[in-house]
Amino acid sequence: MLKDINMRGAMQKMIEGAQDKFCTALSAIDDTPFQEDKWERKEGGGGRTRVLSDGPVLEKAGVNISVVHGTLSEEAMSQMGGGQNAQSREFFATGLSTVIHPRNPFAPTMHANVRYFERGAEDAPEDWWFGGGSDLTPCYLFEEDAQHFHQTWKNICDDSPGADYPHYKQWCDEYFFIPHRQEHRGVGGIFFDNLKSHAPELHFAFIEKIAMALSEAYLPILEKRKDHPYEDAHKEWQEVRRGRYVEFNLVYDRGTRFGLNTDGRIESILMSLPLKARWEYQHQPAPGSHEEKTLETLKTPKDWI
């Protein structure tokens, strides 16, 4: 298992560095500082939340890290993922989570997270596993953006023993799906959970590459689209699509439910929600429009590379 590896410490150091790196890059583009809140959880642990809101480029951006531990409720155990064979209800969880909502409707939303869990005592965990992923959610589809995003993650998977891009890509398409809309949240990326089939240091190296490549995957897209001309109608469509983002996160996202069921910090859990969203009755895009093309793609996933 992990008796010779201080994975808890390695993960904390890594996510702190990844948070610093990505926040620095985002602040340089937006020329706006992040608001930082350091918080403690009464049951054990805490975190560092950084949020940028209402900037010239980023309407809302959050880059959070957390290191928490305690005792799981029965409901939280059902949401936790791996470790179902562990008897102990004691847990340790740490990770980085980021969601970027740009102001320009032609620039896509991006989400990413990496995480590590243990069940049982620190000196002799009964089970451990890694999870994470990243997905892109455009309001207006540009195929070259989706191709760049997917290629970044495929390159990392190809360079990481045990990682499987085709499997993680399909997993992402299946996970970020809104059943009551019969729509996928975006154009996908990669998603994985319960990684423990290889030595822990191999899985750690893989998710470290993901955490450190957030700028590489997303910022070229943001730079390309942030100054794209737009009108009020484009913003209205963006807010309708962000309503879909809210629906998925509040109804289906397992991480949101886990946070709520472990008495997590509400402000940090709901950081992923956009600053503005809307719901219009029976809203449909105009036939033949860019909006309709994007919606059609969200209904049927495709291979981007």
Three-state secondary structure call for residue 129: strand
Catalytic residue among 111, 150, 184, 203: 111
CA angle (19, 258, 194) in 5-degree steps: 75
The verdict on whether 111 is a catalytic residue reads yes
Structure token pair of residue 27: 């602040």
- Measured CA to CA, the distance from residue 107 to residue 263 in angstroms comes to 34
Residues 6+ apart with CB under 8 A from 147: 304, 305
Give dist(CA 63, CA 73) in Å, integer.
27
Does residue 134 sit in helix, strand or coil? strand
H or E stretch at 177: strand 177-178
C-alpha separations of 15 from 30, 48, 99, 262, 263 in Å: 22, 10, 15, 21, 22
The residue type at 12: Q
Distances in whole angstroms, Cα of residue 136 to Cα of each of 13, 211, 214, 217, 269: 26, 15, 12, 10, 19
CA distance 31 to 59: 13
- Scan for tokens 């560092």, then name that residue: 48
Nearest alpha-carbon partner for 128 in 11, 276, 38, 235: 11
Distance CA 259, CA 81 (A): 13
For residue 240 the two structure tokens come to 């309708």
Q: Is the dihedral of CA 220, 223, 224, 225 positive or negative?
A: positive
Which positions are annotated as active-site residues?
A: 111
